[in-house]
A and B are shown apart, each in its own frame.
Chain A
Amino acid sequence: MLDTVRTIETPEGVNIRLRLAGPVPRALAYLLDSFIRAVVWLVSFIFFVRFGNFGLGIWLIGIFLLEWFYPVLFEVYAQGATPGKQALGLAVLQDDGVPVGWSASVVRNLLRTVDFLPSFYAFGLCSVLLNRDFKRLGDIVAKTIVVHRSKPRVPQKLPPGRALPLPIGLSSPEQQLIVAFAARVPRLTWDRAQELARILDSTNGQHTHATLHTDVVSLIGYAQHIVGEREPS
C-alpha cells in the first residue's frame, strides 16, 4: 500500500494513526543535529583547551559522549526527539507507539555506524527505501519507528450562516463532505465555491421527492445543521 499512515491498536481496542517519516525529513533533521554537534564540538574545544591537558581529557570524554549519546539522551528525555527532529516535527517511537526506552534508543543509535557505511548513510538509505515502515537497520533491530508528530489541528470553523435542516437523507460520508466543503469556503474565491457547489447538481436526479439546494449559502446552512447548530428559537 502506498501510504505512510500506520495504525496501531491499543489494548483498549481503538486504533491510533501514526504518520511515518520518510528519508528526506529524517536526513534534514540529521544535518541539523550534525550542525549543532559541530558547533558544540568547536565551542567546547575553545573552552577546554585553555585548561591544558586536564581540559583536553575532559573534552575528549565530552566528545565521546556527544558522538554516541547525544541522540540517546534526547530521545529518552525529550519525548523521542533530538533538537533536529524537534525542528522538523519528528519523533522516535517504539513499534507499538509508546515512547522509546533506553535500550531501544541505544541500539538504534549504536547501529548508526553500520547505517552510515560505506559512506553517507548508504546502507541506511537503502534500508529505509526498501522497508515498508521506513526503517533503517538500527530501527529494525531496535523495533522503533520515526513518525511525524501531529500538530494540534485548529478545529475548522464554519462560516456563519443560518442552519438549514437537510431536505433528504444523506449518508454519513456525504454529510461529512458537505461539512468539509463549508469549512473550505472561506479559503476559496466565491466564484470557485459556486463552481464546486454546482457539481452536486449531478447527484440530485436520484432523489425524487425533494431537492438539495446546491448554492453555497444553503450548503453552509446544511453544514451548520449537521454539526449540530440549531435555529435559535
Chain B
Amino acid sequence: MAEIRVPTLGESVTEATIGKWFKQVGEQVAADEPLVELETDKVTIEVPAPAAGVLSDIAAKDGATVAVGARLGEIKEGAAAPPKSATKPAQAPTGRPDKKTDATVAIGAGPEQPQLRAQPKEQPRSNAALAAPLAPSVRKLAVESGIEPATIPGTGKEGRLTKADMLAAIERAAAAPTPVPQPAAALRAPSPADDSAREERVKMTRLRQTIARRLKEAQNTAAMLTTFNEADMSAVMELRNRYKDSFEKKHGSRLGFMGFFVRAAIAALKDIPAVNAEIDGGDIVYKNYYHIGVAVGTERGLVVPVVRDAERKTLGAIETEIADFGRRAREGTLKLEEMQGGTFTISNGGVYGSLLSTPILNAPQSGILGMHKIQERPVAIGGKVEVRPMMYLALSYDHRLVDGREAVLFLVRVKELIEDPTRLVLDL
C-alpha cells in the first residue's frame, strides 16, 4: 500500500485545491506518472504516483481543498518507499505522564556562577499552567490590548504567560495587518426577480481569490502612497531603434523597455535602500540583493515572476528572461519558486493603454514601479514647446518605512537614468 499525499507546496502555501484526477480508481499507474493536478495560490502542480501499481483509492475529489501532507489516495502494490513524515522529537521519559519534561541545566564545566539563562523557551501550557490565574500584569495588558491570552505562546514556568509574552504579542499585533471584517455571505440584498434572471453567478477561481486576499492584505498592512513623475523616452527609443536588429541577432530576444527599467530601478534601489527593504515585526530587513519581479498579465490574472540577482545580469539576459517568463506565464508553466523572493516589482500598465495609475504593492515588498503608455505630448524644453514621447512613472511605496522624500528621489533617479541611459553605463 502506497499512500498518495499532498507534497510541500512552497513558502507559506498551506493548502491546495484538487484540479483534476488524471487516473481513475482501478487504473494501472506507473511510478512517477502524474496522478492528480493540484491548484495552489500561485501555480498548478502535478502529484506523481509514489509507486507503480493500481490506484486503489481516491480520498479527495476534484474541487476539494486539501492541506499539505493530507492523504489524497492510495496505490496498491509496488515497492514504494514509505512517505516521509516529519518525526516529532522523542520526549524524555517522565515518572508522571502529565508532567512536562524540563531541560536540565548543564553544570560542572561552567564557571562558579551559573550562566545566565538563554532566551526563555515557549512551551505548551501544562495543565497546572492552564488552570492558574494570569499574572496581574498579564491580566491588565490583556484587557487593555484586547488580545486574548489563550492565543499567545507562554515562556514562563510550564508555559505560563509572562508580561514579556504579552508585550511581545502587543508589538506583533501593532505590526500586523488591520483585521478585515469578513462580510457575511448573504450581505448583498437579493436582486429583484427581473434582474436576477439576468445574472450569472460564477465561483471565483482560486487564483482570483488569492489575488483578492493578497491585495486587501497589502492595502491593510502598508501605509501605501503613490508618487508620480514623467520620463522623456526619446533617448531610450532612439537606442532601441539603432540597435534593435543587432540586439535580436545576438541575444535572440527583442530589445524592449523592461531591461532599461530594471537596470534603472536597481540603480535607484541602491541609492534608496529603504525601497528594497521590508518590515518584519519590529525590524526593518534591508536586502542586499535585487530580485526584481516583473508583472505579467495572463488570462487568469496577474502573475509576477522574479528576475533573481538582476543586478548581476546583462540587459540581454534580463530581456531574454522576461520574455521567457511572459511566454510561460501565458502557458501556465511558471514554477512556484520563480515567483518567490522578489524584493521590488515593476508593473507595466502601458501595454494595455494606461496613461497613469496607482499600482498596488506586492506584499511584503515596500515599493512597486508602474510604467505606463508612451504618449507623444507637447512639453516645454528650454522655453520652447517640443513634442516628446513621454511616459508617466508611478512609485507606490510603503510610507511606514519609506519617507516621502526618499520615494520622490527614487523616482527622480529612475527618470534621470531612463532619460539618459548613458548614465547607466557610466554608473552616474
Indicate, yes or no, whether A interacts with B.
Answer: no
Q: Which B residues fall within an 8 A CB radius of A?
A: none
Q: Which A residues fall within an 8 A CB radius of B?
A: none
